[in-house]
Amino acid sequence: MVGEARVPMLPQAPKTIWQAKVNHRSVEVLAPSNAVLLDVLRDNVGQLGVKRGCDLGTCGCCAVLVDGQPRLSCMTLAGDVEGCAITTVEGLAEGHHLAPIQTCFAMHGGSQCGFCTPGFLISAQALLYQTSSPTEAEVNEAIEGNLCRCTGYQPIVESIMAAAALLRGEGEAPVPPTNPHADPHPSGPEEPQLPPGHAR
Protein backbone atom coordinates (compact mmCIF):
# COMPACT_ATOMS: atom_id res chain seq x y z
CA MET A 1 0.00 0.00 0.00
CA VAL A 2 1.50 3.28 -1.06
CA GLY A 3 0.25 6.64 0.05
CA GLU A 4 -0.85 8.30 3.17
CA ALA A 5 -4.52 8.59 2.49
CA ARG A 6 -6.26 6.24 4.87
CA VAL A 7 -9.55 5.30 3.45
CA PRO A 8 -11.22 3.09 6.00
CA MET A 9 -12.19 -0.18 4.41
CA LEU A 10 -15.83 -0.60 3.68
CA PRO A 11 -17.45 -2.80 6.22
CA GLN A 12 -17.21 -6.27 4.81
CA ALA A 13 -20.23 -7.31 2.87
CA PRO A 14 -22.30 -10.03 4.48
CA LYS A 15 -21.54 -13.52 3.35
CA THR A 16 -24.08 -15.32 1.28
CA ILE A 17 -24.27 -18.70 -0.31
CA TRP A 18 -22.99 -18.68 -3.85
CA GLN A 19 -23.70 -21.63 -6.03
CA ALA A 20 -22.74 -22.54 -9.56
CA LYS A 21 -21.61 -25.46 -11.64
CA VAL A 22 -17.84 -25.33 -11.73
CA ASN A 23 -16.21 -27.87 -14.02
CA HIS A 24 -19.33 -30.00 -14.17
CA ARG A 25 -19.60 -30.13 -10.41
CA SER A 26 -22.18 -28.25 -8.39
CA VAL A 27 -20.57 -26.13 -5.76
CA GLU A 28 -21.99 -24.10 -2.95
CA VAL A 29 -19.72 -21.82 -1.02
CA LEU A 30 -20.07 -19.04 1.50
CA ALA A 31 -18.66 -15.85 0.06
CA PRO A 32 -19.15 -12.10 0.54
CA SER A 33 -22.02 -10.90 -1.57
CA ASN A 34 -19.75 -8.48 -3.44
CA ALA A 35 -17.00 -11.00 -4.09
CA VAL A 36 -15.18 -11.12 -7.37
CA LEU A 37 -15.40 -14.37 -9.31
CA LEU A 38 -11.61 -14.80 -9.39
CA ASP A 39 -11.38 -14.68 -5.61
CA VAL A 40 -14.25 -17.05 -5.14
CA LEU A 41 -12.83 -19.54 -7.62
CA ARG A 42 -9.35 -19.46 -6.13
CA ASP A 43 -10.00 -19.00 -2.45
CA ASN A 44 -13.37 -20.61 -1.88
CA VAL A 45 -13.79 -23.19 -4.60
CA GLY A 46 -10.10 -24.01 -4.72
CA GLN A 47 -9.58 -23.83 -8.48
CA LEU A 48 -6.00 -22.64 -8.26
CA GLY A 49 -5.51 -23.20 -11.97
CA VAL A 50 -7.20 -19.85 -12.54
CA LYS A 51 -4.37 -17.35 -12.33
CA ARG A 52 -4.21 -13.82 -11.05
CA GLY A 53 -1.82 -11.76 -13.13
CA CYS A 54 -3.05 -8.23 -12.62
CA ASP A 55 -6.56 -8.07 -11.17
CA LEU A 56 -7.32 -5.28 -13.62
CA GLY A 57 -8.43 -7.03 -16.76
CA THR A 58 -5.14 -6.43 -18.53
CA CYS A 59 -3.44 -9.82 -18.70
CA GLY A 60 -6.06 -12.46 -19.42
CA CYS A 61 -4.54 -15.03 -17.05
CA CYS A 62 -7.80 -15.29 -15.13
CA ALA A 63 -10.05 -16.16 -18.07
CA VAL A 64 -12.76 -18.75 -17.51
CA LEU A 65 -15.66 -19.96 -19.59
CA VAL A 66 -19.06 -18.89 -18.35
CA ASP A 67 -21.71 -20.87 -20.20
CA GLY A 68 -19.16 -21.38 -22.96
CA GLN A 69 -18.23 -17.69 -23.26
CA PRO A 70 -14.79 -16.48 -22.22
CA ARG A 71 -14.86 -14.01 -19.33
CA LEU A 72 -12.17 -12.37 -17.26
CA SER A 73 -12.95 -13.64 -13.81
CA CYS A 74 -11.17 -10.71 -12.15
CA MET A 75 -13.66 -8.36 -13.79
CA THR A 76 -16.74 -10.41 -13.03
CA LEU A 77 -18.79 -10.29 -9.88
CA ALA A 78 -19.47 -13.73 -8.59
CA GLY A 79 -23.08 -12.77 -8.03
CA ASP A 80 -23.52 -12.05 -11.73
CA VAL A 81 -22.74 -15.58 -12.75
CA GLU A 82 -24.62 -17.29 -9.98
CA GLY A 83 -25.94 -20.61 -11.20
CA CYS A 84 -23.97 -20.57 -14.44
CA ALA A 85 -21.80 -23.34 -15.78
CA ILE A 86 -18.22 -22.26 -15.27
CA THR A 87 -15.27 -24.03 -16.83
CA THR A 88 -11.74 -23.34 -15.69
CA VAL A 89 -8.56 -24.82 -17.10
CA GLU A 90 -9.00 -27.77 -14.75
CA GLY A 91 -12.24 -28.61 -16.49
CA LEU A 92 -10.90 -28.83 -20.03
CA ALA A 93 -9.54 -32.35 -19.79
CA GLU A 94 -11.75 -35.37 -19.42
CA GLY A 95 -10.16 -37.29 -16.63
CA HIS A 96 -6.69 -38.09 -17.85
CA HIS A 97 -7.54 -37.41 -21.44
CA LEU A 98 -6.31 -33.98 -22.33
CA ALA A 99 -8.34 -31.86 -24.67
CA PRO A 100 -6.72 -31.40 -28.09
CA ILE A 101 -5.92 -27.79 -27.26
CA GLN A 102 -4.01 -28.89 -24.16
CA THR A 103 -1.97 -31.52 -25.97
CA CYS A 104 -1.16 -29.09 -28.73
CA PHE A 105 0.01 -26.40 -26.31
CA ALA A 106 2.33 -28.94 -24.74
CA MET A 107 3.67 -30.28 -28.01
CA HIS A 108 4.08 -27.04 -29.92
CA GLY A 109 5.75 -24.99 -27.22
CA GLY A 110 2.64 -22.92 -26.53
CA SER A 111 3.51 -22.90 -22.87
CA GLN A 112 6.87 -21.92 -21.41
CA CYS A 113 6.54 -20.68 -17.87
CA GLY A 114 2.92 -21.67 -18.07
CA PHE A 115 1.43 -18.87 -16.02
CA CYS A 116 -0.49 -17.39 -18.91
CA THR A 117 -1.44 -20.81 -20.24
CA PRO A 118 -4.75 -21.30 -18.39
CA GLY A 119 -6.01 -18.02 -19.82
CA PHE A 120 -4.86 -18.79 -23.34
CA LEU A 121 -6.36 -22.27 -23.21
CA ILE A 122 -9.70 -20.83 -22.22
CA SER A 123 -9.67 -18.15 -24.92
CA ALA A 124 -8.59 -20.68 -27.50
CA GLN A 125 -11.16 -23.22 -26.42
CA ALA A 126 -13.91 -20.62 -26.69
CA LEU A 127 -12.83 -19.97 -30.26
CA LEU A 128 -12.69 -23.66 -31.07
CA TYR A 129 -16.21 -24.12 -29.77
CA GLN A 130 -17.30 -21.73 -32.49
CA THR A 131 -15.20 -22.98 -35.35
CA SER A 132 -12.75 -25.72 -36.00
CA SER A 133 -11.25 -23.97 -38.99
CA PRO A 134 -10.28 -20.53 -37.72
CA THR A 135 -8.18 -18.18 -39.80
CA GLU A 136 -5.01 -16.72 -38.33
CA ALA A 137 -6.77 -13.39 -37.93
CA GLU A 138 -9.54 -15.03 -35.96
CA VAL A 139 -7.03 -16.72 -33.71
CA ASN A 140 -5.22 -13.44 -33.13
CA GLU A 141 -8.46 -11.77 -32.29
CA ALA A 142 -9.41 -14.50 -29.86
CA ILE A 143 -6.21 -14.16 -27.88
CA GLU A 144 -5.67 -10.43 -28.16
CA GLY A 145 -6.71 -9.96 -24.54
CA ASN A 146 -4.15 -12.42 -23.29
CA LEU A 147 -0.64 -11.46 -22.43
CA CYS A 148 2.27 -13.83 -22.77
CA ARG A 149 5.76 -12.68 -21.99
CA CYS A 150 7.58 -15.91 -22.74
CA THR A 151 6.55 -17.35 -26.05
CA GLY A 152 6.14 -14.35 -28.34
CA TYR A 153 2.66 -15.71 -29.26
CA GLN A 154 3.83 -17.43 -32.41
CA PRO A 155 3.99 -20.92 -30.86
CA ILE A 156 0.62 -20.27 -29.24
CA VAL A 157 -0.99 -19.48 -32.56
CA GLU A 158 0.59 -22.60 -34.00
CA SER A 159 -0.76 -24.66 -31.11
CA ILE A 160 -4.27 -23.39 -31.66
CA MET A 161 -4.05 -24.06 -35.38
CA ALA A 162 -2.83 -27.58 -34.67
CA ALA A 163 -5.66 -28.16 -32.21
CA ALA A 164 -8.17 -26.98 -34.77
CA ALA A 165 -6.71 -29.42 -37.27
CA LEU A 166 -7.11 -32.21 -34.74
CA LEU A 167 -10.72 -31.25 -34.18
CA ARG A 168 -11.30 -31.38 -37.90
CA GLY A 169 -10.04 -34.93 -37.74
CA GLU A 170 -6.79 -34.24 -39.54
CA GLY A 171 -3.96 -36.19 -38.07
CA GLU A 172 -3.69 -37.93 -34.76
CA ALA A 173 -3.18 -36.47 -31.35
CA PRO A 174 0.54 -36.43 -30.56
CA VAL A 175 1.67 -38.21 -27.44
CA PRO A 176 3.83 -36.15 -25.12
CA PRO A 177 7.19 -37.84 -24.50
CA THR A 178 6.56 -37.81 -20.80
CA ASN A 179 3.50 -40.00 -21.03
CA PRO A 180 4.39 -43.15 -19.11
CA HIS A 181 4.77 -46.13 -21.36
CA ALA A 182 8.31 -47.42 -21.14
CA ASP A 183 9.07 -50.87 -19.84
CA PRO A 184 12.52 -50.86 -18.24
CA HIS A 185 12.85 -54.52 -19.09
CA PRO A 186 12.25 -54.70 -22.82
CA SER A 187 13.07 -57.61 -25.01
CA GLY A 188 15.56 -57.08 -27.80
CA PRO A 189 14.65 -56.26 -31.35
CA GLU A 190 14.12 -59.07 -33.79
CA GLU A 191 17.04 -61.47 -33.99
CA PRO A 192 19.24 -60.48 -36.89
CA GLN A 193 19.93 -63.05 -39.56
CA LEU A 194 23.35 -64.31 -38.67
CA PRO A 195 25.71 -65.46 -41.41
CA PRO A 196 26.41 -69.15 -41.23
CA GLY A 197 29.29 -70.00 -38.96
CA HIS A 198 29.03 -66.72 -37.09
CA ALA A 199 30.42 -67.20 -33.65
CA ARG A 200 28.66 -65.64 -30.72
Partner 1 sequence: MSGGYRQQPGGAGGGIRKDGKRVAGKLRFTPPGAGGSRPVSSPRDLDGIPESVGGNEPQPAGHHVHDRLRTGTTVGRSTALVDANAKVTGQAWYGDDVRLPNEVIGRILRSPHHYARIRSIDTSAAEAMPGVLAIATGSDAPKTFGVLPVTKDEHAMAVEKVRHVGDLVACVAAVDEATAMEALGAIVVDYEELEPEFDPRKGLEDVDEPIHWRGKYHVGRTNVQKRVHQAFGDRSKIEHAAATSRRAWRFEGVHHGFTEPHAVVAHWDANGRLQLYTPQQVPHYTHRALATVLNVPMHQINVVRTFVGGGFGGKSDPFPHEMCAAILARKCGRPVRITFDREEVYWINRGRHPSYIEVKLDADEDGRVAGLDVDALIDGGAFASFGHVTSYYNGVLATAPYELGSFHYTGARVWTNKPASGAMRGHGAVNTRCAVEVGLDDIAEQLAVDPIDLRLANLLPPHSRTISGFRITSNGMREALRRVKEGSGWDEKFRKMPLGKGIGIGCGFFISGSGLPIHWDPNRFPHATVHIQVDMDGGVTVHTGAADIGQGSTTAVAQVVSEVLALPLDMIHVRSHESDTSPVDLGSYSSRVTFMNCNAAIRAAMEIRDELLNAAWDMLGYHPTTLVMVDRRIVYKHDPSIGVSYLQALHKAQEDKGALIARGAYRSPPMGGVHKGAAAGLAPAYSFSAYVAEVDVDVETGLVKCTRVWAAHDCGKALNPLAVEGQIIGSCHMGLGQVLSEQMVYGRTGHLQNANLLQYQIPSVHEMPHVTPIIVESSDPEGPFGAKEAGEGPLLPILPAVCNAVYDAVGVRPSSLPLTPDVVWADIQKRIKKEGVEDPLELESPRLTHGPLQEKLAARAEEHHSRDRARQRTEDTSPYVNGVLFGFDPTRPIDEQLEGWAAIDDPDPESMAEMGYAGRAWLKQEQRQMGGDV
Contacting positions for ligand FES (CB under 6 A) = 52-55, 57-62, 72, 74, 111-116, 148-151
- What is the three-class DSSP state of 57? coil
d(CA 161, CA 98): 17
In 3D space, the residue among 35, 55, 33 whose CA is nearest the CA of residue 43 turns out to be: 35
State the binding partner of 200 from partner 1, ligand FES, none, CB within 5 to 8 A by kind.
Answer: partner 1
Contacts (CB under 8 A) with partner 1, residues 33-92? 47-56, 58-59, 61, 88-90, 92
Contacts (CB under 8 A) with partner 1, residues 101-140? 102-103, 105-109, 111-118, 121, 140
Q: Are 103 and 162 in contact (CB under 8 A)?
A: no
Q: Which is nearer to ligand FES, 30 or 77 (CB)?
A: 77
- What is the three-class DSSP state of 28? strand
Q: Applying CB under 8 A, does 196 fall inside the site for partner 1?
A: no
Q: Which is nearer to ligand FES, 57 or 176 (CB)?
A: 57
Q: Applying CB under 8 A, does 194 fall inside the site for partner 1?
A: yes
Q: Are 122 and 155 in contact (CB under 8 A)?
A: no
Work out how close the CB of 83 gets to partner 1 at its nearest, in angstroms, rounded to a whole number.
23
d(CA 57, CA 189): 56
- What is the three-class DSSP state of 64? strand
State the binding partner of 144 from partner 1, ligand FES, none, CB within 5 to 8 A by kind.
Answer: partner 1
Work out how close the CB of 47 gets to ligand FES at its nearest, in angstroms, rounded to a whole number.
14
- Residues contacting residue 36 through CB under 8 Å, at least 6 positions apart: 73, 74, 75, 76, 77, 78
Work out how close the CB of 195 gets to ligand FES at its nearest, in angstroms, rounded to a whole number.
55
State the binding partner of 62 from partner 1, ligand FES, none, CB within 5 to 8 A by kind.
Answer: ligand FES
Q: Which is nearer to ligand FES, 113 or 175 (CB)?
A: 113
Q: Are 118 and 63 in contact (CB under 8 A)?
A: yes
